[in-house]
Amino acid sequence: MTTYSAPVEEMMFLYNHLKDNKDYNEIQKFKEINSDLVKDILDQAAKINQEIVHPLAKVGDETPCVYENGVVRSPPGYKQAYQQFIKDGWTSLSCDPKYGGQGMPKTVSTFFEEMLSSSSLSFKLYSELSIGAYHCILHHADTKIKNKFLPKIVEGKWSGTMCLTESQCGTDLGLIKTKAEKQEDGSFLLTGQKIFITSGDHDLTENIIHLVLAKIPGAPPGTKGISLFLVPKFNVNDDGNIGTRNGVKTLSIESKMGIKGSPTCVLNFDNAKGYLIGKENKGLSSMFTMMNLERIIVGIQGLGIAETAYQNSLAYAKERKQGKANNTNTEKADEIIKHADIRRSLLSMKSIIEGERSLSFWLSQQIDVSLNHSDENIRKNANDLVSLMTPVVKSFFTDMGSEITNEAIQVFGGYGYTKDQGIEQLFRDNRITPIYEGTNSVQAIDLVFRKVLKEKILNNFLKLIQKEISEHNNNQQLKKFSNIINDKIDIINKFSNWLEKRNKEKRDDVSASCNDFLKILGYLSLAYSWFKTTKVSLSLKDQNKNFYNEKINTANYYFDKILPRINAHYESATSGSDIIMNAKFG
């Protein structure tokens, strides 16, 4: 079984020293949230994750959810843990106090999301989509529905799902067949089947609130005719109490490679009563409020799982003895952490994880600004940056999660391949993250065709990076990093120009290069984060030399050993698509 210790010191370093967004610091309602309060929240979060949630990871994998007699039963211990979880108020952390929430900013709740992902992704998934459903209802439902459903969701006594996928369509939602027929009282009756529904049914909450995409008869074809509906597992009376069972039935749960403690359901809607959220035929845009939030959170899942993989690899490398690390004359075997290649593996993990955590903290500030700042233009500029970085965080963090969990298995050797250590479970649990909430290839296509070529919002981010490094041109200790970043910005600008040209002449060239472009932007974004981290570490290193010198050394590793991957991605992508498209495949 793995162990986990929440990196509270790392998180507090970011909160205390990299909360440097001027617009964020202007948000009035967050000014009372000080460092002491955040430290207390993170300490309490660490305690429940380390002591209660993390032990459930192995339990859920070895004793998965079961479906029997029409009921989905969660793994042993999940019910008790969930009751403690909601009693302590963790589902309400970032929610509006109007509905019983604590009103914490994303800069705080994102740290908690990471801890939960590190501890047990299966357990996390029971509450994760509830927060997504909360945001969707909050932004798009009428007041009556908000008042009726949100308090129980915020409290954690009711959970939420999103129901998009059907057997004939995943990404192409214009093909959905689920229909919604309007009734005289203004409600709708939904009929159809949804698959791959995370936490679609379970025994942890009193009710489950499904957000369902469906088409009203006579609606326009394709995605322009999709509407969004709230469909509860149990109908809710006007007084807020649970009433009769609605026409929602679980047909089966999937047998999966990982996240076995979380039920992935096939749901059948048979004249299930639902309520329109937002306007008719505008359901997809409403659902994107939930989907975009989930995509960022999925990226945090990749980060969280990678952190656990790194911690356990480091601990094992300090204990496991194998061979001699250098040309000493002693016959005694050395701990494998003394071997250069193992140290390379560990530093690769560390430099990517810490860079990602810093980037996600930066992005959390942008999200808070986009939602809460009083100036509309400032909100829009922040929202553009969030929009640009959403596919990057979702795809890059989860791909790196796969790389890091794979590397962790390698550090453990044969023991990593067996189930005893729990390392192979981290690889299996993470493997879903590049797939769900829009596959990483779809995210890359969205980034290039929509965000870069159509909306042209990449330059805003590049200007932000250039402004940061130009302000420190006279700092000789940062000069090396500045030069490297400028070189990589030249590459991404050349790549962007190449994409513009090829999109007019040969679209296959662009399609074939989207993943490479996303990777380049991901690596560059982490370089930006490491530049900011190094800047702070240089100014503070006399206060805690071990901590800050380690930061500086890890930053140097990232710039020297990881960032050169950008060049390879650029050369591969700009070689074109002829070889790919000419392949016959038998």
For the chain, the 3-state helix, strand and coil shares in percent, each to the nearest 5, are 60, 15, 25
Helix (H) or strand (E) holding 128: helix 121-140
3-state secondary structure of 214: strand
196 within 8 A of 264, measured Cβ to Cβ:
yes
Helix (H) or strand (E) holding 385: helix 376-412
Instruction: State how far Cα 397 lies from the chain centre.
Output: 8
DSSP-assigned letter for residue 329: S
For 316-361, the pLDDT digits (tens) are 999 999 988 886 666 788 999 999 999 999 999 999 999 999 999 9
Helical pair 423-430 and 283-319, crossing angle rounded to 10 deg: 160
CATH class in words for 8-140: mainly alpha
pLDDT digits 0-9 by tens, 507-523: 999 999 999 999 999 99
pLDDT at 329: 63
Q: Report the C-alpha dihedral over residues 404, 407, 413, 414, rounded to 10 degrees.
A: 60
CATH architecture of 158-281: Beta Barrel (2.40)
Which among 113, 166, 307, 437 is annotated as catalytic? Answer: 437
Beta bridge partners of residue 169, listed in sequence order: 166
- Cα dihedral across residues 273, 144, 295, 95: positive or negative: negative
What the block records as the tokens of 160 is 């939420």
Decide: 106 and 364 in contact? Cβ < 8 Å: yes
Question: Which two three-digit tokens encode residue 238?
Answer: 């006007």
Q: Is 280 a catalytic residue?
A: no
Query: 253: which strand partners?
Result: 265
Least Cα distance to 159 among 67, 91, 240 occurs for 91
Cα distance between residue 336 and residue 413, in whole Å: 11
Query: What's the pLDDT score for residue 288?
Result: 80
Is 63:75 a contact under the CB 8 Å cutoff? yes
Radius of gyration of the chain (CA): 24
Break the chain into its structural domains and give their ranges: 8-140, 158-281, 440-586
Dist. CA 171–CA 316, nearest whole Å = 41
What pLDDT does 124 receive?
Answer: 98
Report pLDDT for 328: 67
Residue 564, helix vs strand vs coil: coil
Percent of the chain with pLDDT over 70: 99
Q: Is 334 exposed, middle or buried (0-12, 13-18, 19+ CB in 10 A)?
A: middle
Residue recorded with tokens 């942890």: 204
Question: What is the C-alpha separation between 479 and 458, in angstroms, rounded?
Answer: 24
Q: Please count the other Cβ atoms lying within 10 Å of the Cβ belonging to residue 34.
A: 10
**Euclidean distance between CA atoms 212 and 231, whole angstroms:** 7
Q: What kind and span of H or E run contains 250?
A: strand 248-253
pLDDT at 521: 98
DSSP state of 339: S
What does 67-120 look like in DSSP terms, one character per residue? Answer: EETTEEEPPTTHHHHHHHHHHTTGGGTTS-GGGT-----HHHHHHHHHHHHHH-
- Dist CA 259 CA 302 (whole Å): 13
- Residue spans of the chain under pLDDT 50: none
Q: Count Cβ atoms within 10 A of the Cβ of residue 306 and give its class: 0-12 exposed, 13-18 middle, 19 or more buried.
A: buried
Beta strands in 119-167 (DSSP E): 158-163
What tokens appear for 411 in the block? 């550090």
* C-alpha–C-alpha distance, residues 549 and 537, integer Å: 7
